[in-house]
Structure 1
C-alpha cells in the first residue's frame, strides 16, 4: 500500500474479530449433549448456510429486510428440528448463540494497539442488539460500532459500507476496511475503501485475482505494517 493516508479503520466483526463457529458450536451442543463433533459441525454448517442464503436474498431484493435476530431465530429452529429438539425455550436460548462469540487470541490487544493511532469503526451484519451483545461478550473496543440494520440491508451491499463513510466524515479512500472475508473486502472496494485482509481459519480467503492493499496474518501484523507505512 504505497504512501497510505488512512484516517480510520473499519472492521468486520463476525469471523474477523470473533470466532463465530466456536460460539455456534457451544450453543448447538446444548441442544443435545450426545451430539458428536461431526454432528455438531453439520448443524453449524446448516445454520451458516441459512444465514448466508437469507442475507443474500435480502440484498438481491428477493426478501424484505429483517434484522439478523430474526434470521438467527429461523436458523435455530432449523437446526433444532434437524437435531430432533422441539422445546421452544431451548430453541430460544440457542438462537442467542450468535451473541456469545469468543474473540481470536490477538483481537483485544490488537484493537487496543490500533486504537492508539486510528479511530476504530465496527461494521457488522449483526443487528444493533446482537452487536451490543457480541461486543460486550468478546470485550471489543470501538470508537463507533455500526450495524447493517441501519442500512436495512447486509454486506456486501454498498449501502452498508456507506454507513462508515458517513459516520467518519472522510472520503472512502481514507478508510481501511479490515476483514477476513474476501467477499466483504470486494464490497468495500466497490465503494472506494482501501482494504486489508486478515487471515482467519474461518475466513473467505482471497482469490488469485483479488488485489487488496494489505495482507496480514493477524491484528498484530496489521498494526506493524501500518506503523511501517505510517
Structure 2
C-alpha cells in the first residue's frame, strides 16, 4: 500500500462515484413515464445510457464535434421519449435535466468532508459546468474546486481531461489521487501518472484481475479512514 503522505490532492469522479446516477436516472424515467413497470424502466434506462456512451465515444473518436453533457442528455431524453411514446414537453424537459438532481451515496457527503479537512479535494466530471453547479448544490457536495470535461472539450478517458486535474493540483501527478467507481476511468488516470483508488458502487465498472489500483475500498468511509489514519 502507498504511504498516505505521498498524496497531496484528491480528485473524485462524480457521476456514479459520489452520486447514484443509475438510480437517479431510473427514478426520473419512472416519473416521466409513470405507467411503465420496472422492466420497462430498465429498458428505457438502457436506451439512455447507450446513447450517452455512444455519443461520448463518437466525440472521443472525433466522429462528432464536442457536445457537452447537457446536449447529450437532452438527446437521450428525446430517445427515451420516443421509445416510451411520451409527447409532453414539460416531462421531457424535466427528464433532460435529471442529472442535476441525482442523490448522493449515503457515505459521500461525510466522507468528502473528512477528506477535505486533510487534503484539497477536486471534482472531475463529464457533467457540464452548469450541471455540476446544480448537482453539487442538490447533493450537498462541497469541493475546493470543480472541473468539468467541458473545459477540455473531451470526455474521459482522454488524457486532456485528467490533465485539467494535474494542472489544478499544481504538483506531480504521482501525488494526485483519482477516486472513482469506474475501472475504465482509473485506467485513464493511471495512464497520465495519477494514483488511483477504486470505490465499489452499484452499477459501477468493476476492476479486472489485471488492474493494479493503489486502493480498493467498499465505501468512501473506508477510504477516508485509510487516508487520514495518522491525522
Q: TM-score, normalised by structure 1?
A: 0.97
Indicate the residue corresponding to 2:135 in structure 1: 134
- In the alignment, the residues of structure 2 paired with residue 208 and residue 214 of structure 1 have an alpha-carbon distance, to the nearest angstrom, of 14
TM-superposed deviation, 1:226:
1.3
TM-superposed deviation, 1:187:
0.4
- Whether 1:39 aligns to 2:40 is yes
Task: Output aligned runs, 1:89-100, within 5 Å.
Answer: 89-100=90-101
- In the alignment, the residues of structure 2 paired with residue 75 and residue 229 of structure 1 have an alpha-carbon distance, to the nearest angstrom, of 46
Alignment check: 8 A CA contact 1:180 1:197 kept: yes
- In the alignment, the residues of structure 2 paired with residue 87 and residue 33 of structure 1 have an alpha-carbon distance, to the nearest angstrom, of 13
Task: Output aligned runs, 1:29-108, within 5 Å.
Answer: 29-108=30-109
- In the alignment, the residues of structure 2 paired with residue 224 and residue 109 of structure 1 have an alpha-carbon distance, to the nearest angstrom, of 12
Alignment check: 8 A CA contact 2:118 2:228 kept: no
Which stretches in structure 1 are left out of the alignment for 5+ residues? none
Of stretches 186-195 and 27-36 in structure 1, the one that deviates more from structure 2 is: 27-36
TM-superposed deviation, 1:227:
2.5
Change (3 A) 1:199 1:229: farther
Q: What SS class does the counterpart of residue 228 from structure 2 fall into? A: helix
- Whether 1:175 aligns to 2:167 is no
- Whether 1:161 aligns to 2:162 is yes
Task: Output aligned runs, 1:204-223, within 5 Å.
Answer: 204-223=205-224
Indicate the residue corresponding to 1:117 in structure 2: 118
The count of residues paired between Structure 1 and Structure 2 equals: 230
List 4+ stretches of structure 1 deviating above 6 A.
none
Indicate the residue corresponding to 1:147 in structure 2: 148
Indicate the residue corresponding to 2:2 in structure 1: 2
